[in-house]
Amino acid sequence: MRPFDGRRVLLVVAGGIAAYKSVHLLRSLRSEGAEVEVMMTGAAEHFVGRVTFEALAGRPVHTDLWTRPLAHIELGRDCDLAIVAPATADLLAAMAHGRADDLASATLLAADCPVLACPAMNTRMWEHPATVRNLEMLTEDGVRLVGPEDGPLAEGEFGVGRMAEPEQIMSVAGRLLEVDSILGGRKVVVTAGPTREAIDPVRFLGNRSSGRMGFELAASAWRRGAEVVCIHGPATVPRPHGPKMIETEDADAMLRSLRTELDGAAVLCMAAAVSDFRAASPSREKIKKEDVDAEGFRLELERGPDLLVETKEQRESSNIFTLGFALETRDGLRNARSKLEGKGMDLVALNIAGSPGSGFDVDTNRITVLDPAGTVEELPLLTKREAADRLLDRIEDQLGDGS
């Protein structure tokens, strides 16, 4: 559940249409284990009823400077992070100028935790020199920003001004809440998803990998403050926010990107399901039904590159800590151990194909972790998010030991 588990977050909701998205944000914060104090400006209450926030937060919402004396001092002092979502032009102006004439602005002025503002407004308000000046001042004061995004606005216009989506806010907030990871500032490269090996211009050899495990590893490393590059094939699940994403198609392209990105890397997590085989001579033209006789035709396959083998020398000479995955149907431990040694890995996560809730295209994973010292750790059935966190914890431990 890290990094939100047991952390105190102050969610300040100001008066903009995007206040409805903050309901979803509150749900996500709560389901990740955060304790959330919600504060609404008077204008915010015109958009979403406070009862909705109270029910989801499980505690009263703070709205008034005068109801509980010193609430504005205590709330900002006792929280690990303040998120202002939506941050209106008005509240951003108040924050930039140090105003304290309502509960939200007074609390944010007194807060000594990190403040993450999620601006949302009409494009003309966003681009007005006054807002631009206010944002410059706030950035200088250390306020972090996420969004706004480009897209359709409430008024039926298009432009920059949409509040960042809750998932994006969660990943930036998670990074702000992470504490002192050994991965902070280090480069972590992750491969994710399937590869597609062309048979002809429209057909390919692929596999069922969704990209979820690799994306969760990338997101977890990014939350820990790492500089993350995620090289992925055509994945079917949403991309994580934060890491640099490089989309590739086949194993050769993934290998080319990997060789480039390994420069300066401290850690490599190889979660991509790279095809072992490819068509020996892919057709330049679409293979037509009429070209194939009634008995069918033989598709000749050849071995594709093994990315771990191909990068072994580069990884070893640059001392890049490597986590690999092994998906086995039998002799799992023996095969995983021989991969660990033969392919120069520091940690192997073993999946047994067909074990319930595990492997491709599901949200959960059951992993056994092996290291070169012979330690075998069987993790319980976990969500891929939890599994990624556990694997990153192991990487942090091993890097911390200097191994």
User: Are 182 and 399 a contacting pair, CB within 8 Å?
Assistant: yes
**Given the residues 122, 134, 207, 365, the one annotated as active site:** 207
Closest approach of ligand FMN to the CB of residue 44, in Å: 5
Q: Considering the complex, state which of residue 17 and residue 287 has its C-beta at the smaller distance from ligand FMN.
A: 17
Q: What's the rounded Cα separation, in Å, for the pair 106 and 374? A: 56
Q: Which stretch binds ligand FMN (CB under 6 A): 82-90, 182-190, 263-271, 394-402?
A: 82-90
Residues 6+ apart with CB under 8 A from 330: none
Q: Considering the complex, state which of residue 125 and residue 253 has its C-beta at the smaller distance from ligand FMN.
A: 125
Phi-psi category of 70—alpha, beta or left, where left has phi over 0 and alpha has psi -120 to 50? left
Q: Considering the complex, state which of residue 71 and residue 121 has its C-beta at the smaller distance from ligand FMN.
A: 121
* Interface with ligand FMN (CB under 6 A), residue from 90, 200, 310, 393: 90
DSSP 194: B
What distance lies between CA 18 and its chain's CA centroid? Answer: 22
Q: Considering the complex, state which of residue 104 and residue 258 has its C-beta at the smaller distance from ligand FMN.
A: 104
Q: Does 17 bind ligand FMN (CB under 6 A)?
A: yes
Closest approach of ligand FMN to the CB of residue 104, in Å: 6
- Phi first, then psi, for residue 279 (nearest 5°) are -65, 135
- Phi first, then psi, for residue 288 (nearest 5°) are -95, 150
Q: Does 43 bind ligand FMN (CB under 6 A)?
A: yes
- At 18 the three-state DSSP class reads coil
Can you read off the two tokens belonging to residue 279? 């068509």
- Phi first, then psi, for residue 248 (nearest 5°) are -130, 175
Q: Which residues pair with 347 in a beta bridge?
A: 323
Q: Which stretch binds ligand FMN (CB under 6 A): 39-47, 177-185, 232-240, 330-338?
A: 39-47
Q: What's the rounded Cα separation, in Å, for the pair 229 and 243? A: 6
Q: Considering the complex, state which of residue 121 and residue 188 has its C-beta at the smaller distance from ligand FMN.
A: 121
* Interface with ligand FMN (CB under 6 A), residue from 12, 29, 44, 82: 44
* Interface with ligand FMN (CB under 6 A), residue from 22, 63, 88, 171: 88
Establish whether 207 is a catalytic residue. Answer: yes
Between β-strands 227-232 and 244-247, what pairing exists: parallel, antiparallel or unpaired?
parallel
Q: Does 91 bind ligand FMN (CB under 6 A)?
A: yes
Q: What's the rounded Cα separation, in Å, for the pair 82 and 327? A: 42
Q: Considering the complex, state which of residue 115 and residue 121 has its C-beta at the smaller distance from ligand FMN.
A: 121
Residues 122-141 binding ligand FMN (CB under 6 A) are 125
Closest approach of ligand FMN to the CB of residue 96, in Å: 12
Q: Which residues contact ligand FMN by CB under 6 A?
A: 14-18, 41, 43-44, 88-91, 120-121, 125
Enumerate the active-site residues.
207
